[in-house]
């Protein structure tokens, strides 16, 4: 089952009542559009983290890939890490309930204002494969955003 949910109230950012769940814009769209729950300015050559107040549930053999929209790229805005990877075990984690965040970087020389409700990125669900001779992995997620970097 693939589904988007609002994060639990205790993990909501920006004191908004309801999250806007991602949706596809057209019949043939591959990506689900995420919108900003706030208005925020990204200064030139700086980044800002925007929490969507949305979490995604999907299969263990799937990943949610985050990317900016082509319109954002045209305006000099990109993901700070170029691509976002959301693993299935991020959903419902104890630190942020799986709240999906977009860290956006402004590589232009002009400030850029993101309006509340503006599309800030898209998510694509992808099946992935593992190598046949992989060592058994037993480590479980112990955190939220960026936690798999921590040992």
Give 81-123 as a DSSP string: TSSEEEEGGGTT-TTTTT--EEEEEE-SSS-EEEPTT-EEEEE
State phi, psi for 47 to the nearest 5 degrees: -125, 160
How many distinct structural domains can be found in the chain?
1
d(CA 21, CA 34): 7
Confidence of residue 18 (pLDDT cuts 50, 70, 90): confident
Say which CATH number the domain at 21 has: 2.70.40.10
- H-only helix segments in 55-119: 70-74
What is the model's pTM? 0.87
For residue 114, is pLDDT > 90? yes
Give the residue carrying structure tokens 């995420």. 34
Domain span including residue 63: 3-128
In a domain, 21, yes or no: yes
With 0-12 / 13-18 / 19 or more C-beta atoms within 10 angstroms meaning exposed / middle / buried, residue 43 is: exposed
d(CA 65, CA 8): 22
In a domain, 110, yes or no: yes
Is residue 135 domain-resident?
Answer: no
Model confidence at 84, pLDDT cuts 50, 70, 90, reads very high
């Amino acid at each position: 089952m693939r589904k988007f949910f609002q994060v639990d109230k205790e993990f909501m950012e920006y004191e908004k009542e309801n999250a806007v769940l991602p949706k596809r814009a057209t019949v043939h769209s591959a990506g689900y559009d995420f919108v900003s729950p706030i208005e925020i300015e990204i200064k030139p050559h700086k980044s800002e983290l925007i929490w969507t107040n949305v979490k995604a549930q999907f299969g263990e053999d799937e990943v949610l890939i985050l990317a900016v929209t082509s319109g954002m790229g045209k305006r000099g805005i990109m993901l700070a890490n170029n691509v976002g990877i959301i693993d299935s075990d991020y959903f419902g984690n104890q630190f942020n309930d799986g709240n999906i965040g977009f860290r956006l970087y402004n590589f232009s020389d002009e400030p850029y204002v993101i309006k509340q409700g503006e599309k800030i990125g898209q998510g694509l669900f992808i099946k992935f494969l593992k190598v046949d001779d992989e060592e058994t992995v037993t480590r479980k997620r112990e955190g939220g955003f960026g936690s798999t970097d921590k040992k």
